[in-house]
């Protein structure tokens, strides 16, 4: 089959690789019909290379048609149309039973001291082959895949794999009071969708910060008050002006480790890039290499007693945090990989009706063939050609 394969920093290629096969009785094989490129994939493209192996298949936002099922699978059959959550969870362990599927005790990557295994996401998370491919082996298929109805285009459902539950959890964790205000940092796919979810769930004011004109225009068209980061020396002061002088009730950081600024972290990464891979990995696991400009803005702009919800991925192990400020402001901080299956029942009614309240049908800016993935990655990384969300079509 054809698959998007990691070969090195900023080097992804479409290679011919062996077809996946059933290995365990709870596996299924899915013929992929759509697969998104995620902002988290750009971390692999740029920053997290030390935890990748040449030949790894990328992608964790797939959907498609079940082609084959393992001997213990009774909930799925060939021909079913399914969305595959990015985290691999069993559905019956303590963590899954408590709505923490991203911490599944059956698939935890214990040799790396990490949570549930993820599709297409480094040796830290199990080195499971990803879904930017023509076919995908899905472990723990007795629980993971989400059956969706035939009829609507893939765009209606594909974001159940990651974007929608990640945005939904970000808003849930932000605890925005009814009619309250929320600041969303970063208007890429997750920040954009989190803004839409926040408005749908009753936020009175949603403020979005970015520096990419296309992203700002998209969010503004959906009712978000936008701030161009390049136009203001003190964006937190602008947020306070928009929120009665207090700051926003909540902040969602949808940027994560690759925020602009933080020259010390940038230097640490540059140094890491000169080291052999094992040494680079060790450095990233023991020092603060995240660029924390977004998180620092969140701490500055949130009101006292407010909540910060981290949806963007952070990778440093010893990042400096302004603990005095956080304690003094009495902040609440929530974070983590999305527990996809926990939120599906709440989200699904928004996708199965005749309307499209979250605008998923037109959310993707680009649909492209699988063999065009390298160019799509480059455009997404460089924020070129209006690229906000790409769906690959194997």
pLDDT in tens, 130-157: 999 999 999 999 999 999 999 999 999 9
- Compute the average pLDDT of residues 64-75: 98
- Write down the pLDDT at residue 266: 47
| Confidence class for position 50, pLDDT limits 50, 70, 90 | confident
- Write down the pLDDT at residue 49: 75
Residue 274 has pLDDT above 90, yes or no: no
Q: Compute the distance between CA of residue 110 and CA of residue 206 in angstroms, rounded to an integer.
A: 39
H/E run at residue 236: helix 235-242
- Write down the pLDDT at residue 278: 59
> Which CATH number applies to 164-335?
3.40.50.720
Sign of CA dihedral 123, 66, 392, 366: negative
Spatial neighbors of 136 by CB under 8 A, at least 6 apart, are: 20, 29, 30, 32, 62, 64, 84, 119, 129, 130
Give 346-370 pLDDT, tens digit per residue: 999 999 999 999 999 999 999 999 9
The DSSP letter of residue 287 is S
Contact 73, 329 (CB under 8 A): no
Q: What 3 state SS string does 102-138 have?
A: HHCCCCCCHHHCCCCCEECCCHHHCCECCCCECEEEE
| Confidence class for position 261, pLDDT limits 50, 70, 90 | very low
Give 150-185 pLDDT, tens digit per residue: 999 999 999 999 999 999 999 999 999 999 999 999
| Confidence class for position 285, pLDDT limits 50, 70, 90 | low
Spatial neighbors of 387 by CB under 8 A, at least 6 apart, are: 365, 366, 376, 379, 380
Q: Buried b / exposed e across 74-99, counting CB within 10 Å, b at 16+? A: eebeeebbbbbbbbbbbeebebbeee
Of 189 and 276, more confident? 189
Residue 127 has pLDDT above 50, yes or no: yes
Residue 283 has pLDDT above 90, yes or no: no
Domain limits of the chain? 2-162+339-393, 164-335
- Write down the pLDDT at residue 320: 78
Q: Compute the distance between CA of residue 3 and CA of residue 1 in angstroms, rounded to an integer.
A: 6
Nearest C-alpha neighbor of 55 from the set 23, 87, 8: 8
- Compute the average pLDDT of residues 300-307: 98
Residue 291 has pLDDT above 80, yes or no: no
Q: Buried b / exposed e across 294-313, counting CB within 10 Å, b at 16+? A: bbbbbbbbbbeebbbbbbbb
Nearest C-alpha neighbor of 224 from the set 257, 259, 255, 186: 186
| Confidence class for position 314, pLDDT limits 50, 70, 90 | confident
At 2 the three-state DSSP class reads strand
Q: Compute the distance between CA of residue 382 and CA of residue 198 in angstroms, rounded to an integer.
A: 28
> Which CATH number applies to 2-162+339-393?
3.90.180.10
- Compute the average pLDDT of residues 374-388: 94
Mean of all residue pLDDT scores within the chain:
91
Sign of CA dihedral 57, 117, 391, 44: negative
């Amino acid at each position: 089959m054809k698959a998007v394969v990691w070969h090195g920093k900023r080097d992804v290629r479409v290679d011919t690789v062996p077809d996946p096969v059933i290995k365990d009785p709870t596996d299924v094989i899915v013929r992929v019909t759509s697969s998104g490129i995620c902002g988290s994939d750009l971390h692999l493209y740029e920053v997290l290379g030390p935890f990748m192996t040449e030949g790894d298949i990328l992608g964790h936002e797939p959907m498609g048609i079940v082609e084959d099922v393992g001997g213990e699978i009774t909930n799925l059959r060939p021909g079913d149309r399914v969305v595959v959550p990015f985290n691999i969870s069993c559905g019956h362990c303590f963590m899954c039973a408590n709505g923490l599927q991203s911490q599944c005790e059956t698939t935890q990557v214990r040799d790396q001291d990490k949570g549930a295994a993820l599709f297409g996401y480094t040796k830290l998370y199990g080195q499971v082959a990803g879904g930017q491919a023509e076919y995908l082996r899905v472990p723990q298929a007795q629980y993971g895949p989400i059956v969706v109805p035939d009829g609507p285009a893939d765009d209606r459902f594909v974001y159940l794999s990651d974007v929608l539950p990640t945005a939904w959890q970000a808003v849930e964790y932000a605890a925005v009071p009814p009619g309250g205000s929320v600041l969303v940092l970063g208007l890429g796919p997750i920040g954009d969708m989190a803004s839409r979810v926040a408005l749908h769930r009753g936020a009175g004011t949603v403020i979005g910060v970015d520096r990419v004109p296309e992203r700002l225009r998209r969010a503004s068209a959906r009712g978000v008050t936008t701030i161009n980061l390049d136009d203001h020396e003190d964006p937190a002061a602008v947020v306070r002006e928009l929120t009665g002088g207090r700051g926003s009730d909540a902040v969602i950081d949808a940027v994560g480790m690759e925020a602009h600024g933080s020259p010390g972290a940038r230097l640490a990464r540059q140094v890491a890039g000169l080291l052999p891979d094992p040494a680079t990995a060790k450095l990233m696991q023991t020092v603060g290499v995240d660029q924390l400009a977004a998180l620092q803005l969140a701490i500055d702009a949130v009101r006292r007693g407010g909540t910060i919800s981290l949806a963007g991925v952070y990778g440093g192990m010893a990042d400096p945090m302004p603990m005095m400020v956080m304690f003094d402001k009495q902040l609440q901080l929530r974070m983590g990989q999305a527990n996809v299956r926990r939120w599906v029942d709440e989200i699904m009614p928004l996708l199965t009706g005749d309307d499209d309240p979250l605008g998923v049908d037109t959310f993707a800016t680009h649909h492209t063939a699988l063999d065009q993935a390298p160019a799509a990655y480059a455009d997404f990384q460089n924020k070129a050609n209006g690229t906000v969300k790409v769906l690959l079509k194997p």
